[in-house]
Amino acid sequence: MAVQTVASSTDSTVDLGPAAALSCRECGHRVPLGPVFACEECFGPLEIAYDFSGYDTEKLRQRIEAGPANIWRYAPLLPVPADVADKPNINPGWTKLVKADNLARELGVTGGLYVKDDSGNPTHSFKDRVVAQALEAARAFGFTTLSCSSTGNLAGAVGAAAARAGLRSCVFIPHDLEQGKVVMAAIYGGELVGIEGNYDDVNRFCSELIGDPAGEGWGFVNVNLRPYYAEGSKTLAYEICEQLGWRLPDQLVVPIASGSQLTKIDKGLQELIKLGLVEDKPYKIFGAQAEGCSPVSTAFKAGHDVVRPQKPDTIAKSLAIGNPADGPYVLDIARRTGGAVEDVTDAEIVQAIKLLARTEGVFAETAGGVTVGVTKKLIESGVLDPTRTTVVLNTGDGLKTLDAVAGTGLTATIRPNLDSFREAGLA
């Protein structure tokens, strides 16, 4: 942590809009904005503290509505400079909130069912939201290399954002990843370094690099830039409410990997309430995991406050974090809001991917299969109320996890004539 403290000697002229300081989620200790992520007092996670004073609700709403069709419409609520929309970035967000009437009918939801479909982001996952934030922080702190450890979606998002911004990128991945994933990460032309080891080895190496002079000038989006990066998930909450007509949904179903996304969605909803942009009313947040990586779901069901790590074994690889850093906060939020945490099997994930595609024409990544599958399960068990407005997140793209549904194929094979067509019962 020594190097972190050195790095926290922040330039007080840094302009990240309404971001006022970093504040420890555990002990509340505040430090100036800088590339640090852990509290020097208690090692708790640092997060952004804002100064939203002086905001007029109606003016803010008008400013947002007149803003660009991407996350920068919410610049006044994010740790970014006011002119962020004019800088080269990948400009994710303002993805579709799909009114899923067909899916609602199949699941028996009568109160309105929506899918927030983040497959429409530039590199087709929600990671573009968080990386776009981290890029602005990297620029503010004068970093010249954008980096991360990754096994998939994050690598592409970092590569694309760095390319657009004209920064160097250097992404670390396990050396034996599938060729398709390597291509998706390599195409943006940055350094793509294979580490001889597994994902844990990659992570350990990155932590070592941050503490070494060789890592000077490097912004690791999900390590030393994590407090900024994480705020990107708030934009999901903002967009959902604005797209519902500045209204809180009653129920949200959110996937859990590290748990950060779920906690920041809750933070975003609370901000909208405090700013008067939505009417205050109860909402419930439900967390969704794959059974093969369900440490938070397990803790929730057992009534525990502590999350016991699990070795992941599931097709939902983008959610396969066995020791989720924000797990305890997720438990807090699920319990406080009256939600729950549930998990589904790999078979249920595949069924849910197909269900969503068949009913709404949305081809989700395995993570979307997890949330849709959990939604179905929670309705069947009576935990989720089908008469209330419900929003389900799809955070990624089915094109990136084709293997999961590889069994899907032709419904018939015929010869090129009408007799063969009729014989197949297709007429």
Interface positions, 33-92, toward a copy of itself (CB under 8 A) = 69, 88, 90-91
Work out how close the CB of 144 gets to a copy of itself at its nearest, in angstroms, rounded to a whole number: 13
Stretch of 49-57, 189-197, 276-284, 337-345 contacting a copy of itself, by CB under 8 A: 189-197
Q: Which of residues 101-130 bind a copy of itself (CB under 8 A)?
A: 101-102, 120, 122-124
Nearer to a copy of itself, 159 or 227 (CB): 159
- Inter-helix orientation angle 153-165/179-186, to 10°: 20
Nearer to a copy of itself, 138 or 184 (CB): 184
Phi, psi of 422 (to 5 degrees): -70, -40
Q: Which residue has the tokens 């002990």?
A: 27
Token digits of residue 266: 């809750």
Kindly tell me which residue out of 96, 247, 304, 335 binds a copy of itself, with binding defined by CB under 8 A: 96
Nearer to a copy of itself, 86 or 303 (CB): 86
Number of residues that bind a copy of itself (CB under 8 A): 78
Token digits of residue 58: 């109606």
Query: If binding is defined by CB under 8 A, does position 418 make contact with a copy of itself?
Result: yes
Contact 268, 256 (CB under 8 A): no
Give the 3-state secondary structure of residue 114: strand
Work out how close the CB of 220 gets to a copy of itself at its nearest, in angstroms, rounded to a whole number: 14
Query: If binding is defined by CB under 8 A, does position 6 make contact with a copy of itself?
Result: no
Contact 255, 321 (CB under 8 A): no
Cα(201)–Cα(359) distance, rounded to whole angstroms? Answer: 41
Stretch of 37-45, 207-215, 225-233, 338-346 contacting a copy of itself, by CB under 8 A: 207-215
Phi, psi of 90 (to 5 degrees): -85, -5
Phi, psi of 296 (to 5 degrees): -75, -40
Cα(177)–Cα(153) distance, rounded to whole angstroms? Answer: 13
Token digits of residue 73: 């419409």
| CA geometry: angle 115, 121, 123, nearest 5 deg | 130
One-letter amino acid identity for 242?
E
Q: Which of residues 145-164 bind a copy of itself (CB under 8 A)?
A: 156, 159-164
Work out how close the CB of 399 gets to a copy of itself at its nearest, in angstroms, rounded to a whole number: 4
Work out how close the CB of 368 gets to a copy of itself at its nearest, in angstroms, rounded to a whole number: 12
Kindly tell me which residue out of 67, 197, 276, 322 binds a copy of itself, with binding defined by CB under 8 A: 197
Contact 324, 312 (CB under 8 A): no
Query: If binding is defined by CB under 8 A, does position 170 make contact with a copy of itself?
Result: yes
Kindly tell me which residue out of 19, 341, 362, 372 binds a copy of itself, with binding defined by CB under 8 A: 362
Work out how close the CB of 166 gets to a copy of itself at its nearest, in angstroms, rounded to a whole number: 6
Work out how close the CB of 372 gets to a copy of itself at its nearest, in angstroms, rounded to a whole number: 13
